[in-house]
A and B are shown apart, each in its own frame.
Chain A
Amino acid sequence: MPAIDQISEALVRENITRAVSNVFKTMLGRPASLHRSGGSAGTEPLPRVVTPQVVGTVGFVGEASGLIYLYLDENFAKQCTGHVLGMSEYEMRSAGEDVVNDAIGEMTNMVAGSFKSALCDAGYPCKLAIPSILRGHNFCIERLSSALRHVYHFECGEHSVIADLIVKSCD
């Protein structure tokens, strides 16, 4: 089995790009395309986001372990939820934040599921955790010093989506 450190950035980029594009195209009917990537093995943190964000996060544990964060600004998260669930703006307001959290959690789960399947097929069997949601603004998530980080910026229409992957090195 290859060491986790040997997972190439190209493999990560290719699979996360495919996963994000597929989820946004299938669930929202609009493609998300990779705009730029950054981070990698360095210590560079994710740029601080100042606008209100809804961040879906799903962990994976096994031969490869880590976390996938999917950042959407709050308004776009609401739009995505409305589209996926076929709900009007009024219905969305009545349903509250939980429905947005659940929808973004599920979209992150789909992205993570697709990425995880690629890891498994590449020889890193792992399991997914239950999705969770972070909300807030003006924050940044830092990685463990022993972890690798890959940050990918996607464009979906006029909105941006950030996929932030933190992959733990083998012990």
Chain B
Amino acid sequence: MRKKILTVDDSKTVRIIVRKAFKQFDCQILEAANGVEGLSVAAKDLPDLILLDITMPVMDGVETLTRLKSDPHLRGIPVMMLTAEGGKENVLKIAKIGVRDYIVKPFKEDLLIEKANRIIDLKPLADGPVKQRSILDAADILVVDDKPAIVQQIHDGLKHTPWKIHGASSQAEALEFCGRQAPDLIIASLALPEGGAFELFRLVRANPKTKYTPVFALVVKTEALAQQQAQQAGFTYIVTKPIDLGELEARMAKAMNLDTSQRYFSMDGDLLVIRLPENCSPAVLTELSVYLQTKLADAVDSGYSKVVFDLLAVKALHMGIIKALLQAMQACRELALQFALVANPQVVDGCKEFEDTRGWTFYESFDDAKANLSKAVAVA
């Protein structure tokens, strides 16, 4: 639910600064120019956090805070004082009445966000209507490792993706990067000196701009203790070395919540093409089946009536692939979609070995399948 923050300050300037500071977060800013107005807004809207000035006309911050704390409905609302008066006596006085934190003016917006984030869970605001990002969209990946060879290996292994790999050799360098721009995903080596990856993870989670950024831990396969510690700390995923780059890519896509359907489904003229990749691991087939019904229904909805299953890249046929194809073909029949199969000779030969697949007709090329489907439609 959207957080509500009430700023009670007689200075319009401070209220504008507060509004500006929280602009990039999913929260509603409520405003009041003095304590009386503040109490009224608080009672009506029950904000999640109140930012309260001290010196105000009508009712000052100290009296407002006292009244808030004596009201059973409002006493639980956390209050942070925003005050120009930072003397010891003043701070002690407000601390006694019960504030969660205080900021002495002048303050930087980042400090306000950091302190507010310790009290309420600030979520970054999505730009415009939420649209799921896809595997074809650019993403910034930060790899934090003091060994350049590892950064290079990940860079080379993912160069076919639209993702940009940024290297950082230390925790400090990584934090500096995060200060400039929030990466879409971070991979941090647990071998960084002095527990650098754990400290980085803690600071990334404490920063409202990166608190939801997936952070992968990178560790040697045999280092069980470090893996366990990373799991307990809450790292999104543990990548073990030697790195399986295919697996890493799939995990990264999942962690970034990317729509990966474009890997398997595409439109070609009046055809829906379902393309099986070279390595059809159980994870790949599961992912394919998740999208299948929706993609076929979308195709029908958009006026498509033909489907080509492209198995040209498949290296080794196995029961998982056959089961997935049987399921997809059945779904096509139910939606009255015509389909054809294109495969390489190994797959064609493999299919001859199984009872269920012996009678399947294959085409050698995509164009052959397309022409045949057009002919079939014309005859029908």
Report yes or no: A109 in contact with B12, Cβ–Cβ below 8 A: no
Q: Given A99-B12, A110-B106, A113-B83, answer yes or no on A85-B89 (Cβ-Cβ < 8 Å).
A: no
- Whether the pair A120, B89 counts as a contact (CB closer than 8 A) is yes
CB distance from A39 to the nearest CB of B (A): 24
B88 touches A102 (CB 8 A): no
Q: Nearest residue in A to B11 (C-beta to C-beta)?
A: A106
Partner of A130, one of B55, B85, B88: B55
Chain B residues, CB < 8 A from A166: none
A52 to chain B, nearest CB (A): 20
Main secondary structure of the interface of A (DSSP, over half): helix
Q: Are B84 and A128 in contact (CB under 8 A)?
A: yes
User: B14 near A: Cβ within 8 Å?
Assistant: yes
Give the distance to chain B from A168, nearest Cβ to Cβ, in Å: 19
B contact face: mostly helix, strand, loop, or mixed: loop
Categorize the interface residue count of chain A.
20 to 34
B10 interface contact, C-beta 8 A: yes
The reply on B104 being an interface residue by CB < 8 A is yes
> Count of chain B residues with Cβ under 8 Å from any Cβ of A?
24
Q: Which of B87, B89, B106 has the most CB of A within 10 A?
A: B106
Q: Given contacts A109-B84, A113-B85, A128-B84, is CB(A102)–CB(B55) below 8 Å?
A: no
Contact B107 A84 (CB under 8 A): no
A interface with B by C-beta (< 8 Å): 22-23, 26-27, 81, 84-86, 98-99, 102-103, 105-107, 109-110, 112-114, 116-118, 120-121, 125, 127-131
**Which residues from chain B sit less than 8 Å from chain A, CB to CB?**
10-14, 16-17, 20, 55-57, 83-90, 104-108
Apart from A81-B13, A85-B20, list 10 A-B contacts with CB within 8 A. A84-B17, A99-B12, A105-B11, A105-B13, A109-B84, A109-B105, A113-B85, A116-B85, A120-B90, A128-B85
